[in-house]
């Protein structure tokens, strides 16, 4: 009888001791850092810079090509209004606008170009943002619209660093096309 109770008592004592430590002796969560000895000196440990060395295997092996990313950069010729490479960009989507394009347009473009693209967003008149519904804007190639999103033009800043995914930029292009198509409907039409 005595021997069989001993482990139970030991367990009980141990668990009570545990409760005591964590629920009574730890005054506040702010002090928990000091309670975990291997944790509180991590902050003073040496920083590791895994990408500081060249020659670790993130380089593309010779003779291979990346299948994602690696978009060509035509910012230099875009900056001098040479639109050849821009215009040559083929829209890789089916051209049908998605909710994603809608969201991105209203996040990044509508403030100047307006909810429907008429150039009447709250900031539009202050920076003379043009309407995107003019024959000129309709006449731009998809690649041109993609490039203006990626690199900006004149006083319109670039959005390539905010809309970083290529497919997202194409969705913005598709959404602008939808606004243009909607504006082309005869007045009073559905």
How far apart CA 132 and CA 137 sit, in angstroms, is 5
Supply φ then ψ for residue 153, to 5 degrees.
-165, 135
> Tokens 């041109």 — which residue?
144
| Of the candidate residues 86, 132, 133, 179, the single one contacting ligand HEC (CB under 6 A) | 132
Per-position x/- string for 97-116, each x denoting binding to ligand HEC as judged by CB under 6 A, each - no binding: -----------xx-xxx---
Q: Which is nearer to ligand HEC, 41 or 136 (CB)?
A: 136
What secondary structure letter does DSSP report for 156? B
In angstroms, what is the minimal distance from the CB of 187 to ligand HEC? 22
**Is there binding between residue 178 and ligand HEC (CB under 6 A)?**
no
156 contacts: CB under 8 Å, gap ≥ 6: 112, 127, 129, 148
Q: How distant is the alpha carbon of residue 83 from its chain centre?
A: 26
**Is there binding between residue 86 and ligand HEC (CB under 6 A)?**
no
CB 81 within 8 A of CB 161: no
Per-position x/- string for 158-177, each x denoting binding to ligand HEC as judged by CB under 6 A, each - no binding: -x------------x---x-
Q: Which is nearer to ligand HEC, 111 or 183 (CB)?
A: 111
Q: Which is nearer to ligand HEC, 86 or 149 (CB)?
A: 149
* Count of Cβ atoms closer than 10 Å to residue 119 Cβ: 19
**Is there binding between residue 83 and ligand HEC (CB under 6 A)?**
no
Tokens of 164: 């970083």
Span interacting with ligand HEC, options 11-19, 47-55, 76-84, 153-161, rule CB under 6 A: 153-161
Tokens of 44: 């003073």
DSSP three-state, residue 153: strand
Report the interface residues with ligand HEC, using CB under 6 A.
108-109, 111-113, 123, 127-130, 132, 134, 136-137, 145, 148-149, 153-156, 159, 172, 176
């Amino acid at each position: 009888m005595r021997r069989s109770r001993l482990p139970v008592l030991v367990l009980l004592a141990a668990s009570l001791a545990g409760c005591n430590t964590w629920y009574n002796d730890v005054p506040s969560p702010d002090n928990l850092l000091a309670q975990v000895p291997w944790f509180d000196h991590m902050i003073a440990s040496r920083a590791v810079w895994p990408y500081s060395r060249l020659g670790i295997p993130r380089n593309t092996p010779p003779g291979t090509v990346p299948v994602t990313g690696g978009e060509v950069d035509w910012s230099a010729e875009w900056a001098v209004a040479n639109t050849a490479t821009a215009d040559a960009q083929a829209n890789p989507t089916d051209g049908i606008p998605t909710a994603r394009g809608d969201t991105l347009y209203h996040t990044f473009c509508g403030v100047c170009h307006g909810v429907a693209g008429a150039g009447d967003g709250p900031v539009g008149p202050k920076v003379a943002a043009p309407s995107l519904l003019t024959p000129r804007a309709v006449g731009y190639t998809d690649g041109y619209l993609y490039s203006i999103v990626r690199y900006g033009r004149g006083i319109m800043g670039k959005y390539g660093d905010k809309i970083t995914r290529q497919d997202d930029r194409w969705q913005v292009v598709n959404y602008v096309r939808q606004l243009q198509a909607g504006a082309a409907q005869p007045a009073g039409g559905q």
